[in-house]
Structure 1
């Protein structure tokens, strides 16, 4: 079975390398230039998302409410509750950053495009996948900051309000504008969907570069050892395995979902969005020198989920073909 190489993962590594060797670029005009570029870029990402959002598919997907409840509760409740108990083992600043980076990963919404693509490959319930992936990002605008506010200091100078206003300004309003203009620009967005996806990735790379450049400049990475990275890999692997295993047992043996709904629940419920994580982190970790550390589990999880879920999706696809024959 041949797996397609994901060039975006290589691009992420290059962005981190550039941040390490050339962190001074982020300080151009006291950081205001790169902040302005990412602000405009993020707004455009979600404006284009609004242009491409299928209301018909969302309406059709509303019917299967049990599936939606499972996916959303897994994304915003089960994930954080699996990580939350380990807070009691935190004993120093390094462990605090380690735990918080995983809690940030756990509190994020599911992916949009990759969830739908993987469900489609595995011959799952595609309309339900579109619904859950689309709704997850909007729910995350509200829920993710609420989870993170329990452990980040948002109570000074109205920081909590600033975080929400930033997310509304750069996510919700552009999505609404995209929906309103979908009638006029929707065809254009569909025609150039591949180029728009490349634009999305470019903005994410810029945010990742900026976050890691700040962290490298502050010297926060000098406080961690190689074993720290090993523990991140182990933590990501265990978290994914737990979520996937729980969803598999729950949907197959407890709720007895059909195979197509089981595929959708597992694939959508086990994913986390690097796009939303990059955007949310821009507000949640503003001026935080440890921002680069907080993105590490998310980026590794992104690579992990693409690799493993691609293998699993193709196995489901092959099984379906064998059954049809």
Structure 2
């Protein structure tokens, strides 16, 4: 069988060998060289050690060059929104993809509650972490981004809220993000869109510790907003499976369901009615100055919703985009 290739030494081991070679007494290096010179053929041991040292230096330099570059110094004044990367970087988002808060129809109660909670937090008053859950396409993530922009609209640069998005798959690095934000001079909304957990995923425990229960706890200048289609952030079959297979079903279920309980504010989003759906469409058309007969608009909007099998803010926006494209209207604010 062919021999497996030897693993290349790590930068740490290469440097250790180099230091050992450098510390050896000079006589210990020269004496074997004189003895070996009398033997015909083959390099002297000193030459061999020199070649090994050179090779190890090259390996160490190559491995050091392939390491991830150190994260640059963070300038929180550079933008109002950032994306967190698990390697410790916060990349700026110069322009957030969002809609105006006045265009969010049919969710007036949830809008008012979230804005009030966010404003209290921005003013340094007690506020709750928020879980926005419910029907897809009803503006959960749009509301978070719109509330952030609405609060910042009248604030000075030094008092502006910072919005930081963390991806679902990076939740385990949340404690590292908290360490960075704890001493920062701003207030932060840490936002996770479409948060849920499946199978044997245990990363939810990192989130639980940050929300409540950890020794350090959540920093006073940080609040967490999350959106999910699931009220308890877990698939129903996961909960039922825990209940049917665990030795103590109640305790097994409580451990996982308790995650959503650590969000002090629950905002439920439900499917909109036909009137609310049409109000969304009319609101978009008015905002973007799309001129169309109201009777024809209603007929086409309802037909569009029927073909999609649902009515929601997302469906209303998709219809508006299609209508504007057919009429040659650009979707830019007035």
Which TM-score band (shorter chain)? under 0.3
Which has the larger Rg? Answer: 2
TM-score by length of 2: 0.23
TM-score by length of 1: 0.23
**Normalized per residue, which structure has more helix?**
1
**Normalized per residue, which structure has more strand?**
2
